[in-house]
Amino acid sequence: MSERWEAALTHIYDPFQQKAPYAMAIHDWTNMTCSGRQKVLAGFTTKNGGCSLDSYQSLNTGLHVGDDASHVNRNRQVIAEESAVPLSEWVFADQTHEDHIIKVTKEHKGKGSRHYHDALPGTDGLYTSEPNIMLALCFADCVPLYFLAPQAGLIGTAHAGWKGTVKQIGAKMVDIWRSEEGVAIDQIQVVIGPSIGSCCYVVDDVVVDQVKKLPCPTEEVYSEISSGQYNMDLNTLNKNILLHAGVKEENIQVSSLCTSCHDDLFFSHRRDRGKTGRMMSFVGFKEA
């Protein structure tokens, strides 16, 4: 970590705090327990501490980006060992920038953990109520969303690029938890993770026109910088979508970490011009 960024962390609170070279943890969820026996595990990997080479240096967790699969599996194994949850109990998805969400059970254990072809197909949101299952999604600028309802014993994560954001995948997770799982809205906590910030994310009229159709406030999330070009704040947009869905503002935390700015910490699809690795969101309950 650079001295500049390490100094900044001492002055700016962020929900994600670096616990090891390979990953950051959601500080307020660390060591939280649900039902008196299930420890919450929730974090976001960095690009450091792995064995991948060249454009994928070094902790690439994506099997779908052209990296040597044996390196990716070794990287994932490092994270699994550090979390004390065997890789055979992890679940990954084939992400398609849509809004499909799956409730994961023990029958799904191991899906996509070592081979991309058997990941859960066409899925961008995962949640579970069962212990000893780790849910994982891959990122390189898109917004990672984390969901927790401690009283109900539910935990989840979702992948929100601009397409998933305008499809309101965050609100959809909240609606599923309320309608299908019986969770009260004031029980739902959400953390919005590191992603490309408005400082580095430029979009065109195609994206902005879709954003304008959303039912939540959108005027503050984009600003025109030249004809037909706009800076976009996906984190704030996702927060506004969640607020419109009923999540209490005090139950939403937003990371200030930009994946494009901090090249010492993160891969970035935009900054690295498409040839890069992937970080990973991971969440789950571990029996205490």
pLDDT tens digits along 18-45: 988 999 999 999 878 887 778 999 999 9
69-80 in b/e form (b: 16+ CB < 10 A) is eebbbebbebbb
Report yes or no on 206 lying in a domain.
no
- pLDDT average, residue stretch 171-189: 98
| Cβ 63 vs Cβ 72: under 8 Å | yes
Q: Is residue 185 part of a domain?
A: yes
72 in any annotated domain: yes
pLDDT reported for residue 57: 97
Q: What is the pLDDT of residue 4?
A: 42
How sure is the predictor about 3, in pLDDT bands with cuts at 50, 70 and 90?
very low
- Identify whether 8 is part of a domain: no
What is the distance between the alpha carbons of residues 12 and 76, in angstroms, rounded to a whole number? Answer: 30
User: Is residue 241 packed enough to be buried (19+ CB in 10 Å), middle (13-18) or exposed (0-12)?
Assistant: buried
Residue 83 domain flag: yes
pTM beyond 0.85, yes or no: yes
Residue 238 lies in a domain: no
- Cα 249 to Cα 221: distance, rounded to the nearest angstrom: 17
List the domain range (segments joined by +) for residue 142: 14-195+246-287
pLDDT of residue 35: 74
Per residue in 117-161, pLDDT tens? Answer: 999 999 999 999 999 999 999 999 999 999 999 999 999 999 999
Cβ atoms 92, 281 nearer than 8 A: no
Side-chain half-sphere exposure of 35, counting CA atoms within 13 A? 14
Question: Omega before 255 cis (within 30°)?
Answer: no
**pLDDT tens-digit map of 202-242:** 999 999 999 999 999 999 999 999 999 999 999 999 999 99
Domain CATH code at residue 53 = 3.60.140.10
pLDDT of residue 12: 61
pLDDT single digits (tens) 54-103: 999 999 999 999 999 999 999 999 999 999 999 999 999 999 999 999 99
Looking at residue 8, what is its pLDDT?
A: 41
| Residue 10 pLDDT | 41
Q: Considering the domain boundaries, does residue 173 fall inside one?
A: yes
The token pair that represents 118 in the structure block: 């058997």
Domain count, the chain: 1
Determine the Cα–Cα distance for residues 264 and 134; give it in Å rounded to an integer.
Answer: 26
- Residue 239 within any structural domain of the chain: no
